[in-house]
Chain A
Amino acid sequence: MRRVALALFGTVTGLVMLLSFKTHSSTAGVPVATAPVVPGTGTTGSSSSDTSTGAAASTGSAASTGSARAPSSSASATPASTTKTVTGDAVDTRFGPVQVQITVTNGTITAVNAIDYPQNDPRDQQINSYAIPQLNSEALAAKNATIDMVSGATYTSEGYLGSLQSALDKAGL
């Protein structure tokens, strides 16, 4: 009986320790060991979608890397009251690419939509069915790429942020 209690206690303690180390590394902003998620090579022309450093929770990192390299060429000097639709580069995640499209009217974002995201298997569908709408509405509200990732949808969120930033860069915002 004592052995059973010991095994149970040891297992639970081990699990809790492992999981909390994984959680801490996110808030510290230092990726201890994250999956080599975003190759970022093939599909992304602009370097702003380089989230392969495993950006920790939301804030800043994706946006800051993006804006640090904001290229932006394209027509910033748009005439008044024009609406244009800009599609960001598709960002690869381990489950499939995510691509975000934004609609810009008079220099502000009026619509955000993910036009491509992983839907191959039941789990992807289940997760993204709530993650994508949430990301869309948050991006629209914030009008930039400084939004929170959706818990339980880490990979989708990372890809989304990258592609969103790429779209913003292309639109000159």
Chain B
Amino acid sequence: MTATLSVGPPPTAFRRPPAAPSTGAHPNAVLGAIAVGALACVALWWHDTAPISGFGDWLTNAGRITGLLAGYGVVVLVALMARLPPLERGIGADRLARWHAHGGRYTVSLVVAHGLLITWGYAVTAHTGIVSQAGTLLTSYPDVLMATVAGLLLVGVGAVSAQAARRRMRYETWYYLHFYTYLAVALAFSHQFATGADFMTDRPARLAWSAMYAAVAAALLWYRCLVPVRQALRHRLRVVAVVPEGPGVVSVVIGGRHLHELRAEAGQFFRWRFATRELWWAANPYSLSAAPRGDLLRITAKGFGQHSAALARLRPGTRVFAEGPYGALTAGRRTRRKVLLIAGGIGITPLRALFETLPAAPGELTLLYRAGRDTDVVFSDELAAIAEQRGARLHLVTGHRSRLGYDPVSAPALVANLPDLPHYDVYVCGPEPMTRAVTSALRAARVPRRQIHSESFEF
């Protein structure tokens, strides 16, 4: 049932918004900034280092460079996950998580390389064996033992985060283990100043480095801890109703005060933390599945993992903490008159909200909903109602490609359905492999990149 969120008269005319709402930082700009920072670290090494000669010097200095980059890398990794609004809005949570994963593997490799190169380099310079040099480093150099423990922790967390390991453990376990990275950063910090050649005698460098760490820590504290608390106090969100939508799919209706101040838009999501014994420990992302209305928000979740299944057991009146809104899949991205929404599986959730609210005249809005089985389809009644009311087109395609005989989201099929596809804005949402495949198909069908807006689930 449509619960308490009945659809109002839909907006029809699409006028290009006068000034697009702030779209956050451009991904390339952020990557560029990260690269500039890395170059600054290399420049610091260059400035601090006298001409070198000999194999030992080469090893030691390679160790210093990798150490500097690793120390910088952890700061970047934490910053990516600090929920900074420009990053969340401009790059999107799914892409940030992917960057974090790739960058994390690289940084852990740098840490390992740093440890090995320094040990080897010192050994060669001092004409001792590597093992005895390692012993010397661990016992008589200040803070190196802590840093080594930190390095091992990072390697451990990296190993545990690998896909092969994650498949075998509960999400909650992995989530908790991942917090050990903070411990690792804390343990390793002091050895940078105590034994790092670039910092030991260079006070301005120490100040700048500390400022960088402090800034990211402050941002983390602010956006991940303090802002949600402040929002919770202001909005007093509570569960209003829990509505089963289908097998394994449940909607939760959440109510509060002054919700318009959140400025949530259709297509966006929040990170929700429910105050129950089994759900309090993590803030998980769920998209708004209907347009935010005054004092009510609705989310819909499919029963993947313990967390989503536990949503079905929520009781009305439970306190809710919401961080957000996040997400770039909004009306603000629109550039053309005609819009195609492509939903894969549970990706229907944010697109259902957009289907309801995107300004469009009859015939200009199309929704292609791709699901595995008939039982996987949710909101079929609501979607049909919206389609009829708005004169929008709804294509529901279930079943595997092999049984259907064709791929409904391949370039030929899409173009057959909508011959003027390159003139459409396309919003895509679904599991990562699906959104990737659909985006390639759209590009093959000559849809310009700036008209493709996608978000994938699975982070």
Known: A19-B62, A31-B51, A152-B56. A130 touches B126 (CB 8 A): yes
Q: Is there an interface contact between B136 and A152, defined as CB atoms closer than 8 Å?
A: no
Q: Is there an interface contact between B61 and A130, defined as CB atoms closer than 8 Å?
A: no
Interface stretch among B4-12, B41-49, B166-174, B387-395? B41-49
Interface residues of A in 118-156 (CB under 8 A from B): 121-123, 126-127, 130, 151-152, 154-155
In the bound assembly, the distance between CA atoms of A94 and B45 in angstroms comes to 15
Q: Is there an interface contact between B56 and A19, defined as CB atoms closer than 8 Å?
A: no
B54 contacts the other chain (CB 8 A): yes
In the bound assembly, the distance between CA atoms of A37 and B53 in angstroms comes to 17
Name the A residues within 8 Å of B195 (CB-CB).
123
In the bound assembly, the distance between CA atoms of A33 and B50 in angstroms comes to 7
In the bound assembly, the distance between CA atoms of A22 and B51 in angstroms comes to 5
Name the A residues within 8 Å of B58 (CB-CB).
19, 23
Which of B52, B56, B106, B140 is in CB contact (< 8 Å) with A23? Answer: B52
Min CB–CB distance B46 → chain A (angstroms): 6
B406 contacts the other chain (CB 8 A): no
A56 contacts the other chain (CB 8 A): yes
Which of A7, A35, A130 is in CB contact (< 8 Å) with B127? Answer: A130
In the bound assembly, the distance between CA atoms of A11 and B53 in angstroms comes to 21
Q: Is there an interface contact between B47 and A18, defined as CB atoms closer than 8 Å?
A: no
In the bound assembly, the distance between CA atoms of A137 and B82 in angstroms comes to 58
Known: A18-B46, A122-B140, A122-B141. A127 touches B125 (CB 8 A): yes
Known: A122-B140, A151-B57, A152-B125. A35 touches B50 (CB 8 A): yes
Q: Is there an interface contact between A34 and B51, defined as CB atoms closer than 8 Å?
A: yes
Q: Is there an interface contact between B54 and A152, defined as CB atoms closer than 8 Å?
A: yes
Min CB–CB distance A160 → chain B (angstroms): 14
Name the B residues within 8 Å of A130 (CB-CB).
126-127
Min CB–CB distance B346 → chain A (angstroms): 28
Q: Is there an interface contact between A151 and B46, defined as CB atoms closer than 8 Å?
A: no
A44 contacts the other chain (CB 8 A): no
B357 contacts the other chain (CB 8 A): no
A57 contacts the other chain (CB 8 A): yes
Name the B residues within 8 Å of A155 (CB-CB).
50
Name the B residues within 8 Å of A121 (CB-CB).
141-142
Q: Is there an interface contact between A126 and B51, defined as CB atoms closer than 8 Å?
A: no
Name the A residues within 8 Å of B126 (CB-CB).
126-127, 130, 152
Q: Is there an interface contact between A151 and B56, defined as CB atoms closer than 8 Å?
A: yes
Q: Is there an interface contact between B141 and A123, defined as CB atoms closer than 8 Å?
A: yes
Q: Is there an interface contact between A126 and B47, defined as CB atoms closer than 8 Å?
A: no
Name the B residues within 8 Å of A32 (CB-CB).
51
Interface residues of B in 103-149 (CB under 8 A from A): 106, 109-110, 122, 125-127, 136, 140-142
Q: Which residue of A lies closest to B137 (CB)?
A: A122
In the bound assembly, the distance between CA atoms of A95 and B48 in angstroms comes to 13
Name the B residues within 8 Å of A154 (CB-CB).
50-52
Q: Is there an interface contact between B61 and A122, defined as CB atoms closer than 8 Å?
A: no
Question: Among B125, B140, B141, B142, which residue has the most Cβ atoms of chain A within 10 A?
Answer: B125
Interface residues of B in 27-73 (CB under 8 A from A): 42, 45-54, 56-58, 60-62, 65-66
A15 contacts the other chain (CB 8 A): yes
Which of B61, B102, B122, B125 is in CB contact (< 8 Å) with A22? Answer: B61
In the bound assembly, the distance between CA atoms of A15 and B45 in angstroms comes to 12
In the bound assembly, the distance between CA atoms of A7 and B195 in angstroms comes to 27
> Can you list 16 A-B contacts with CB-CB less than 8 angstroms, sorted by A residue number?
A18-B46, A18-B65, A19-B58, A22-B49, A23-B53, A23-B58, A34-B49, A35-B47, A37-B50, A54-B50, A54-B51, A126-B126, A127-B125, A151-B125, A152-B125, A152-B126
